[in-house]
Structure 1
Amino acid sequence: MKETFFKWLNTALMWNLFFVLLCFGWFAIALIGQAAKVPLGLNLWLSLWTPVMQPALGILMAGALISGASSWIIKRLSPTE
């Protein structure tokens, strides 16, 4: 059962990582557009920063810490041969 849980957790974290990278790409393109005075959604990105992107980053960081710590604990508790 724990293998299934970790499989789903890692899959969810992978999709969250892709979402965060997509948001970063959007931010980079919007900044370039802002410098060129072309509206590419920087104001929309800034309005979504707090309610959408910050929780996504927090979930990604917390999930990575939980996944790493739990795999370390499982490795320490498993009998070595």
Structure 2
Amino acid sequence: MPAPEEPVWKRWLDRLLMLNVLLVFAGAGFFGVAVVAQTQGQPRPMDWFQQLWQPLFTPAISLLIMAALISGILSWWQRKGPMADRDSES
């Protein structure tokens, strides 16, 4: 039996979340480079990172955490559902 076709909105949401993870990883790498540059006496990369922190990286990290929590709660709910049905049948 073939797997059911997933909705178009879910594919786009998955792509958006993957881009978000990529942005968070790129931000972490940029932060690492900025810290190394700061220790070498070049403050400009850290200044750029600090300017991008509030408008770009904070929402991206928040979206990543929220998506992980919702995914975990939905997985827990789906696993718990059939177990509750089995308990009520006995």
Q: Same fold (TM over 0.5)?
A: yes
After TM superposition, the structure 1 stretch with the greater mean CA deviation from structure 2, 42-51 or 7-16, is 7-16
Matching residue's letter, 2:47: N
Greater Rg by CA: 2
Matching residue's letter, 2:68: A
The answer to whether the 8 A contact 1:6-1:67 is kept is: no
Flag structure 1 segments of 5+ consecutive residues without an equivalent: none
Matching residue's letter, 1:75: R
Matching residue's letter, 2:28: F
Post-superposition offset of 1:40: 5.2
Partner of 2:57: 53
Between the two proteins, the alignment pairs up a number of residues equal to 80
Post-superposition offset of 1:61: 0.3
Partner of 1:28: 32
Change (3 A) 1:18 1:55: same
CA distance in 2, matches of 1:6, 1:70: 15
What whole-Å deviation, never above 9, does each CA across 1:4-24 have from its counterpart, x for those lacking one?
466554443332122111101
CA distance in 1, matches of 2:14, 2:81: 21
Partner of 2:75: 71
CA RMSD between the two structures: 2.8
CA distance in 2, matches of 1:72, 1:8: 24
1:15 and 2:7 matched: no
Post-superposition offset of 1:38: 3.0
Post-superposition offset of 1:66: 0.2
Q: TM-score, normalised by structure 1?
A: 0.76
